[in-house]
Amino acid sequence: MLVPCTGRLQPEHVLKAFETGADLVVTVSCEEDNCEYLEGSQRCARRVDYVQGMLDQIGLGSGRLLHFHLPGSAAQDMALGAKEQAPTAFAEDLDARIAAIRDSVLQSLDGLTPNPLTPFVCEAAEEPYQELDGSDDANED
C-alpha cells in the first residue's frame, strides 16, 4: 500500500496486511530531519512501535513489522524554492541504503515462520461465494 506520507499509515492498515496473510510488513519513511510533512516519519515510528507491541501480545512477534528510513526531499525542495543549490549529500549513498534495506528484509523473511493466519485466508479464498439455490420454490405448484 502506498500512502503520500507514512505518517498517514494507521495501525489498522498494518494489521489488515497480517490478517490477509502477509508474513512481513515493511514501512519506509523519510528521515526525521528531512520530512516534507514535518512530523510524518515520527508519527509513523510511534505507530510502528505501537503495532509491534500488539504483535508481540497476540503472538505474531514484533519482528514481522520492520521500519526503515530513507532520505526525504524536503531539504532539497526548500532549497530549490529559495533558488539555492540543493544539498546532494543524501543521494550519494542512496543505492547502498536501499540495498541494505533489501538485504535486511530478505534476512528477516528467511528467519520467519509462515504467518499463522495464512491457513484461514486460504480456506476462505477456496470458497469465496456460497452456492445459491436458483429454484423458485414459492412459484412451484
| Global pTM value | 0.72
Per-residue pLDDT of the chain (141 residues; tens, 9 = 90+): 778 888 899 999 999 999 999 999 999 988 887 777 778 889 999 999 999 999 999 999 999 999 998 876 666 666 666 776 655 655 567 788 889 999 999 999 998 999 988 766 555 555 544 444 555 555 554
Beta-carbon contacts of 108 under 8 Å, excluding residues fewer than 6 positions away, are: 24, 63, 66
**Quick one: which of 8, 12, 11, 13 has its CA closest to 47?**
11
SS3 32: helix
In a domain, 137, yes or no: no
**Quick one: which of 58, 77, 74 has its CA closest to 115?**
58
In a domain, 103, yes or no: yes
Q: Please name the residue that has the C-alpha cell 526525504.
A: 72
Domain count for the chain? 1
**Quick one: which of 9, 16, 11 has its CA closest to 37?**
9
In a domain, 25, yes or no: yes
Structural domain of 20 = 7-112
In a domain, 136, yes or no: no
Q: What are the tens digits of pLDDT across the range 87-106?
A: 565 556 778 888 999 999 99
In a domain, 124, yes or no: no
